Structure 1
Amino acid sequence: MADSLQAPARHPLSHRRPHTPSRARPYVPGLDGLRALAVTAVVVYHVNPGWLPGGFLGVDVFFGLSGFLITDLLLAEREQSGRIDLRGFWLRRARRLLPALAVVLLVATATAAVVRPRRLSSALDSLLSVATFTNNWWQTATDASYFASFGPPPLFQHLWTLSVEEQFYLLWPLMLLILMWCVRWRGVHVAAVLVCAAVSMVAMAWLYEPGVDPSRVYFGTDTHVFPLLIGAALALLRPTATLVPEHPRWAVRPVDIAGVAGLAVLATMACTLSESDDVMYPGGFAVAALATTAVLLASVQPLGRLASVLGVRPLRWIGVRSYGIYLWHLPLIALATPDRMTPADAPVHAIAAAVASVGLAALSYRWVEQPIRRWGQRNAARPASACATSAAGSRRTGAFLAGVTVGCAATLALVAVHAFATTSNEPATGELQTPPSAHATARPMAPSGQTPTAPAPPQHPAPSGKISAIGDSVMVAAAPALKQKLPGITVDAEVSRQLSVAPELVKTLRRHGTLGDTVIIGLGTNGTGGKTALEGAINAAGPGKRFVLVTSHVSRPWQNSVNQAMDEVASHHRNVVVADWNKAITGHDNLLTDDGVHPDPAGARVYADTVAQALTAFPG
């Protein structure tokens, strides 16, 4: 979120000023209101997707805003000066983005190291891609899923959007200059941009596979750039510098009606659709982009009623700080969420973190973003120090520092208390326990008064040698049963693990000399991953190792593709077998917790029996 979240220079329109083609780019308060609605939708979605299942469409609204505003800014500069200063443009983008981003990365990483050290490794892995604005492709390469949610979210998962926008900011000005140099007619420019947007839509439709996690087409710049391009086409067609405030209200009424309709479409989609609906790819996202365009067009009308409504002071206040809100909200939510829980499982914590993000964004806007944008990085400290030396400035500076100190202390104390409360019930020996959700409700007893179980596989001795198990939250829940069933097994399981990390985990165990003769991989619950990751894990283990691949049972689009990948890998390797947990538990939902994914104690025994049965395929 960069210029989509940036308030343009405030030059209010004068209703008596005659129209001139070279008029300075005006401030459009309605766009700030639209930003506020978009960032609110995204924050609510991250707090609890069940409250607003399509809240992620707020990102597409931001994309449309970014494409419109950046193009409008470039056109205004060319209209006023006759040229576009690319170096100055990119420098302004850096001043706008980097300072606030750097503060968030440093503070969130340092806080995680103190209060949530388990989550630090995933955050550190993504830092380079975040800093180089390639995070969306890094997440794609590592088979990360934006939509899987069985534990605290990654701290910087949301910054993929910043990467898409920065890639657009780098390339689009060059493309626009080439386009204007080759063809002078504005209509041709608009048509060319719309053709590029259509190609992106087709790419999304072509690459999307029903039943497979859609994160690749969601993260990809190639497949998700069309909202930015449609916004750019609107700016080419209707730049804000050409707005005429003297039009009578009836003349903008059709645009107002279209804007209200677009806003209604976006609200309906946000409330009723989710990422698992096939209609979203690309049809739903294309409709959202067009609806955003209608709202944008209405928002920039000087006398439009929708523009007046969106331009009210509270929405403007949130809108101009929405970049900071977007940056801060997910790291705070992730840090406030207890281990082995999702933000939806701890709504009080998540809501408190979301509210805190507004306060931190306000501080960032006042003390980081605004000074650097106005005076530049080198000169930002000069006015700040001059302000601090005055009497009033000293009081303001003292109050600010005191507030920051108290706020940080309170936040750290709150998170530390939650972290202590979450871990205090764990045994000192480090035994893994079933996630809290596994004990959410009591299960009805079987007619005989005994615990219901699935048919247990026949008992066979396990192969000799050490056994290492690598898994996600499902294996966390099954760990006690695995250790009872297979004495001596070493279990390395964590919440929210992706299948894509299997090769690196195997390498680490082998490097430390703790990799067993038999390796059990129970990953695939939390998102995409397939043959590449599995083959990488097998190759990383070296010769002579045996592998058991545990299928996933999760009501998500990627279940079948992950399980099929396990079957295919096993068919090509004599030292690989499949433990079909999905088949064993299907039809026995009474052995799962309320989320329908994690086994309860009885289900954990079925999990362990299924793994033990698969181990018998190997000679002793």
Structure 2
Amino acid sequence: MKKKRILSLDILRALALVLICVYHWTLFKGTYIGVVIFFALSGYLVTSGLLSRDFSIFSVISRRLKKIYPSLLIVILASTIALYFVNNGLEMKYKYSALFSVLGLNNIYQIFSKMSYFDNFGIILPLTHIWALSFLIQMYVFFPVLVQGLKKLKLKDYTMGSIFLAISVISGLVMAYIFYATSKSSEGADFSRIYYGTDTRAFSFFCAAGLACFYSRREIKSNVEKKIVYVLGILGIVSIIVFSFGIDYRNALNYYGLMFLVSILFSFSIVLFSKPELKKFDISKYNKILDPVIRLGQHQYQYYLWQYPVMIFAREYFKWSKLSNSQQFCIQFIVLIFISELSYYLFEKKSIKYISYPILASIALILVFSPIYENKDLEEMKAIQEALASNEKEEKNNTPPVSTAPTTPAVNTGDKPLTMDELLNALNTPSKSMEEDTKMQNEILKKYPNDERDIIFIGDSVLHMTREDLKKKYPKAIIETKVGRQFYQLPNMLKSLSQDGKLRKIVVIALGTNGTIYEKDMKSVLETLKGHDVYFINTVMPDPWQDSVNAEIKKAGENPNIKVIDWYSYSKGKQEYFYKDGTHPKPNAAKRYINLIYSVLSKDILNQTK
């Protein structure tokens, strides 16, 4: 007899899906908490199902995997074929990612390969999100064995629930310890290890499993107990909402118990939504209103599988486009609905049998026999970054040589002097050929002095890749660049620079590539930099937070002491300027980047030569 579906839990599934999709699209605050909802729902439902009957371990595991794998394999196959045609080959990193996704070990592979949502510029990795499904596959294989073993010991539900809660506490402590231990290192906390680890994420599953032992097989009769569950269940929903809007993934509280607390509270939400005696209203009465949400929850597996690959390939396709993020999102959204609903119809509703075997064979053949794609762009970019890092280290260890560069204009009396307007037009107007344009600009700039004012440049990997050219143009400047730096780190960094006496009158900031700029962080920066001349360089990238970053920078430019250097308008859509990631400028474009900075920042110096 088929078990009646609990529609209220489909609403929670839909909530989880929406939060996860929002996080993938925007990296917004704490919306990654949607994964906790998925894990908790799985823990509660799997446990209640296993407790209610005698079962064969093999049949339970087999039935679960048969539901999971057809859709999973078709997503892996589609991603593999699409990536093959995009790159004319497959990177080894992707081949391993696909292989371990098939094996249900994607999260383990991502830990060892240091993969994440944030730092894979230039690499197309459409299976990164499969880490969560791999975790659940591991639970679906391991957990029935554990429950069967505890049943053979003839333990009561309450005792089993206590054991599961103890396991959840241990998992939470492991997460806290690893965060503490790795955050002490020079590289900072190892978020890949914390975020993807089976041991560090198991607490959400086992919290809900423990409560399933306490509540799934008995009716709650006590009014006091009903009130407790009701209050804690409501707090669980509230905690999800507050967490989504307020807790960045780098927040230490997350790993010192906050995520564990949310898991416990939300597990009570599952009890509240699933127990008939606790329901305050009949959801079926609101079917017309809630039907789209319930349907989304029922189809959430397909949407979860397809959303990330659709986003990744759309981002690649629109990388050089000037379509706004909202326009790109609308296209993605339509494609996602079509593919997900078709996939649901074929692989869940119709339950196509035996399809897994030919798909698996196809994946194996492509992974084995496809040529290895060598990402030369990425290799060149990394080589430049490594050379810059080596030069920077050498500079710190050695006394810098005395510069032989002239500090006054190299006057050529045979040339007619350029006016200020002619110079700025030459600096800011691209010609038909980037090579010709760069050569012409360099000839012009030779006629003018370097800007030897005390300036500090603060940036991420984009500014870092222009470091050598920047030093030539601004020999007395302090250049503080770091790969992976985010804007939220800037307020504390500015305070530290001020205390060390390194904060200059003129401050140039090039951040926003690695994550969004929040209003509170911008306000803090502007407050610290009152009385300074501040220049923000806006961003060019295919990531969804590009528009919001540039909008925040534009808004900051309304302040009288703030100016914006518009790299976006200057370079967006010019494929020849960038490496394959669509973010980091190639060497010739890096010179143009510096020239653009110079044309805005050094107008007063240029005016002296008129």
CA contact (8 A) 2:14 2:294 kept: yes
Where do residues 254-333 of structure 1 align in structure 2 (5 Å cutoff)? 255-303=229-277, 304-305=279-280, 308=283, 312-333=290-311
Check 1:128–1:265 CA distance in 2 against 1; reply closer, same or farther (3 A cut).
same
Check 1:350–1:174 CA distance in 2 against 1; reply closer, same or farther (3 A cut).
same
| Cα distance in structure 1, aligned partners of 2:322 and 2:156 | 51
Q: Deviations over 1:3-42 (max 9, x none)?
A: xxxxxx8544xxxxxxxxxxxxxx2111111100100110
2:567 counterpart residue number: none
| Cα distance in structure 2, aligned partners of 1:453 and 1:368 | 66
1:588 matched to 2:479: no
2:565 counterpart residue number: none
Equivalent in 342, 352, 376 of residue 331 of structure 2: 352
1:228 counterpart residue number: 205
| Cα distance in structure 2, aligned partners of 1:427 and 1:308 | 64
2:138 counterpart residue number: 167
Equivalent in 40, 46, 68 of residue 24 of structure 2: 46
| Cα distance in structure 2, aligned partners of 1:379 and 1:602 | 52
Task: Identify which range, 264-273 or 206-215, moves more after superposition.
Answer: 206-215
1:135 matched to 2:113: no
Query: Deviation at 1:369?
Result: 2.2
| Cα distance in structure 2, aligned partners of 1:452 and 1:346 | 40
1:218 counterpart residue number: 195
1:33 matched to 2:11: yes
- What letter is aligned with 2:74? V
1:145 counterpart residue number: 116
| Cα distance in structure 1, aligned partners of 2:30 and 2:282 | 24
Classify the secondary structure of the residue corresponding to 2:350. Answer: helix
1:109 matched to 2:80: yes
CA contact (8 A) 1:193 1:229 kept: yes
Query: Deviation at 1:602?
Result: 7.1
Check 1:256–1:109 CA distance in 2 against 1; reply closer, same or farther (3 A cut).
same
CA contact (8 A) 2:164 2:210 kept: yes
Where do residues 328-477 of structure 1 align in structure 2 (5 Å cutoff)? 328-338=306-316, 346-372=325-351, 376-377=353-354, 474=462
| Cα distance in structure 2, aligned partners of 1:475 and 1:481 | 10
1:525 matched to 2:445: no
Task: Identify which range, 331-340 or 58-67, moves more after superposition.
Answer: 331-340
Check 1:453–1:263 CA distance in 2 against 1; reply closer, same or farther (3 A cut).
farther
CA contact (8 A) 2:164 2:206 kept: yes
- What letter is aligned with 2:208? G
Structure 1 gap ranges (5+): 1-8, 13-26, 79-83, 382-425, 435-447, 458-471, 486-522, 527-552, 561-581, 607-620
Check 1:121–1:478 CA distance in 2 against 1; reply closer, same or farther (3 A cut).
farther
- What letter is aligned with 2:283? S
Where do residues 80-99 of structure 1 align in structure 2 (5 Å cutoff)? 84-99=55-70
1:123 counterpart residue number: 94
> How many residues of Structure 1 are paired with residues of Structure 2 in the alignment?
419
Query: Deviation at 1:428?
Result: 12
1:184 counterpart residue number: 155
Check 1:279–1:371 CA distance in 2 against 1; reply closer, same or farther (3 A cut).
same
Q: Deviations over 1:394-428 (max 9, x none)?
A: xxxxxxxxxxxxxxxxxxxxxxxxxxxxxxxx999
Identity %: 23
Query: Deviation at 1:254?
Result: 5.2
**TM-score, normalization by structure 2:** 0.58
Query: Deviation at 1:76?
Result: 2.1
Query: Deviation at 1:179?
Result: 1.8
CA contact (8 A) 2:239 2:262 kept: yes
CA contact (8 A) 2:61 2:144 kept: no
- What letter is aligned with 1:73? G
Check 1:61–1:452 CA distance in 2 against 1; reply closer, same or farther (3 A cut).
farther
1:22 counterpart residue number: none
Query: Deviation at 1:301?
Result: 1.7
Task: Identify which range, 61-70 or 113-122, moves more after superposition.
Answer: 113-122
Superposition RMSD in Å: 4.9
| Cα distance in structure 2, aligned partners of 1:197 and 1:156 | 27
- What letter is aligned with 1:178? G
Query: Deviation at 1:96?
Result: 0.8
Query: Deviation at 1:74?
Result: 1.3
Classify the secondary structure of the residue corresponding to 1:337. Answer: helix
CA contact (8 A) 1:146 1:215 kept: no
Query: Deviation at 1:273?
Result: 1.1
CA contact (8 A) 1:301 1:307 kept: no
| Cα distance in structure 1, aligned partners of 2:313 and 2:301 | 20
Equivalent in 39, 51, 57 of residue 75 of structure 1: 51
Check 1:286–1:95 CA distance in 2 against 1; reply closer, same or farther (3 A cut).
same
- What letter is aligned with 2:508? H
Check 1:249–1:54 CA distance in 2 against 1; reply closer, same or farther (3 A cut).
same
Classify the secondary structure of the residue corresponding to 1:588. Answer: strand
1:62 matched to 2:48: no
| Cα distance in structure 1, aligned partners of 2:454 and 2:592 | 8
Classify the secondary structure of the residue corresponding to 2:104. Answer: coil
CA contact (8 A) 1:451 1:602 kept: no
- What letter is aligned with 1:54? G
| Cα distance in structure 2, aligned partners of 1:155 and 1:224 | 22
Task: Identify which range, 251-260 or 41-50, moves more after superposition.
Answer: 251-260
Q: Deviations over 1:337-363 (max 9, x none)?
A: 147689997343234324422332211
Check 1:130–1:11 CA distance in 2 against 1; reply closer, same or farther (3 A cut).
closer
CA contact (8 A) 1:454 1:588 kept: no
Q: Deviations over 1:438-462 (max 9, x none)?
A: xxxxxxxxxx9998987699xxxxx
- What letter is aligned with 1:76? S
